[in-house]
Amino acid sequence: MPLILGPVYFLAGGTQKSKITDATLIKQNAKGSLSIENNIKSNGSKFYPARTPFYMYDQRSYYTVSNPDTKTSYLIFDDNNNITIYNVDQKKVMRTIPHWNGAVETSVYPAKEGHILVSQYNAKEKFKRFSIEAL
């Protein structure tokens, strides 16, 4: 009995695991070839069975914001713990904003051209504040 149930139990959970780690920016040139541009450090996820579809455990969001005045493009990378604002033209991280800072939960969304909408919810005092900031 252990020789029959053991392998079935073991294989039901899967033998391989996968984990989401850093985000990698890939650039495509005019000819269509791809090259790795840069990596953005982020918090890794927990391990999941490899047979689980990727979309079921990737909770990250990616937004792009362009500023036509300065001709600069930004990538907003919303991870589980932090929000990272990456300048695509300068190839560096401009700001890292924690989601939780004490009792204040912060979220960032794209707004009009060159601006972001910052939402802050204070769980202790029970109020929500919105502001639009320029990049």
Task: Name the 3-class secondary structure at 8.
Answer: helix
**What span, in angstroms and rounded, lies between the C-alpha atoms of 67 and 74?**
8
Calculate ∠ Cα 41-121-83, nearest 5°: 10
**pLDDT tens digits for 56-107?**
777 778 888 988 888 898 988 888 788 888 998 898 888 888 888 888 899 8
The better pLDDT of the pair 7, 112 is held by 112
Backbone angles phi, psi at 9, to 5 degrees: -65, -40
**pLDDT tens digits for 5-63?**
666 666 665 667 777 788 888 888 899 999 888 888 777 777 777 777 767 777 778 88
Instruction: State the pLDDT at residue 33.
Output: 92
pTM of the model: 0.74
Instruction: Report whether pLDDT(1) > 70.
Output: no
Burial category of 63 from C-beta neighbours within 10 Å (exposed 0-12, middle 13-18, buried 19 and up): middle
User: Would you tell me how many other CB atoms lie within 10 Å of the CB of residue 57?
Assistant: 15
Instruction: State the pLDDT at residue 10.
Output: 64
**What span, in angstroms and rounded, lies between the C-alpha atoms of 91 and 108?**
20
DSSP string of 32-69? S-EEEEEEE-------EETTS-HHHH---EEEEEEETT
Task: Name the 3-class secondary structure at 120.
Answer: strand
SS3 content of the chain, % helix, strand, coil (to 5): 10, 50, 40
Instruction: State the pLDDT at residue 31.
Output: 92
